[in-house]
Amino acid sequence: MVHAFLIHTLRAPQAEEGLCRVLYSCVFGAENSPDDPRPHGAERDRLLCKEQILAVARQVESMCRLQQQASGRPPTDLQPQPSDEPMPLHEAPRGAFRLAAGDPFREPRTVVWLGVLSLGFALVLDAHENLLLAENTLRLLARLLLDHLRLLAPGTNLLLRADRIEGILTRFLPHGQLLFLNDQFVQSLEKEFSAAWPR
């Protein structure tokens, strides 16, 4: 089961300034255990959740940056191509790492991430998940989001299009459940989405 999905910024490997910003996040699971004796309000929970997601985003960003440096890719790779060709997502930097219990989530979790130019996509999963399926799903989500929301075109404001992102997530990752969708299924779901959310 997916605990959370997030989209965040990726800085260029050589850039020193700038902060990592979370552009979109969606948490599917509940973090609080019912036998937590401390009183907790909704506001405090929300802030805790935000902090946890930001911690994950920062770790993904540093992993992506380290991987890019190690593989010697030039920093100009971060600029999007002007053409409309589909992004070669199979070659995009990706990886997985584990989060220990308590840091930052109560339970140990695994993060699977994918970096596409200046955007990072990540799934926070339970500790023992089918990582092949998670990786495929993440690639699919990234492709759909990049195509339907034109995320990399200049002037796109991601923050105002959360409803579309939710539309995609509801169909392809309902309630955080990873689905075994073959290509035909994906096509028919995508058609359904395009009908509901015309470009």
Partner 1 sequence: MSTAGTESLLRQAREVREEELRQFCSRISALLRKEEPGPEALDALRRLFLIVSAEVDGAVATDFFTVLSTAQRFTEDQWLNVQAFSMLRAWLQLSGPGGPGAPDTDDKSEQEGSTLSVLSAASSAGRLPPPERLREKAFEYCQRLIEQSNRRALRRADSDLQKACLVEAVLVLDVLCRQDPSFLYRTLSCLKALQARLCGDPTCVRALLPLAQFFLSHGEAAAVDSEAMCQHVFSRVPAEHFHSPMLAFELVQFCRDSLPLLGRNLSALRRSFPSLLKLLAWNSPPLTSEFVVLLPSLVDASTAVEMLHALLDLPCLTAALDLQLRLSPAASERPLWDASLRTTSCPDTSQDPQLQGLLQHLLRAEASGAPERLAPLHLLLQPMAGCARVLQCAEAVPTLLQAFFSAVTQFADGALTNQLARLLLERSDSLYQVPGYEARVHQVLSAQFLGLCQRRPCLVVELAKELLEFVGSGGGLRGGGSVLTSVVWAVGEYLAVSWDRRCTVDQINKFFEALEALLFEVTQSRPSATLPQCPPQLVTALMTTLTKLASRSQDLIPRVSLFLSKMRTLAQSPAAGSLRCREDERAIGTRATELLNLLKMPSVAQFVLTPSVEVAAPRYHRDTNTALPLALRTVSRLVEKEAGLLPG
Residues near partner 1 (CB under 8 A) are: 1, 62-63, 66-67, 69-74, 90-91, 94-98, 100, 110, 128, 130-133, 135-136, 140, 177-186, 188
Looking at residue 42, its amino acid is A
User: Considering the complex, what minimum distance in angstroms separates the CB of residue 32 from partner 1?
Assistant: 17
Least Å distance, CB 189 to partner 1, is: 9
Contact present, 121 and 134 (Cβ < 8 Å): no
**Rounded least distance, CB 41 to partner 1, Å:** 28
Nearer to partner 1, 24 or 113 (CB): 113
* Residue with smaller CB distance to partner 1, 8 or 94: 94
| Cβ closest to partner 1, residue 38 vs residue 90 | 90
Indicate the residue among 31 and 129 with the shorter CB distance to partner 1: 129
- Ordered strands of the 22-27 beta sheet: 22-27, 2-9, 119-126, 109-116, 94-99
- Tell me which residue has tokens 């995009």: 92
CB of 43 to partner 1, least distance (A): 30
Tokens 């989001």 belong to 145
Supply 168's token pair: 């995609």
What does DSSP assign to residue 114?
E
Q: What tokens does 41 get? A: 């309000």
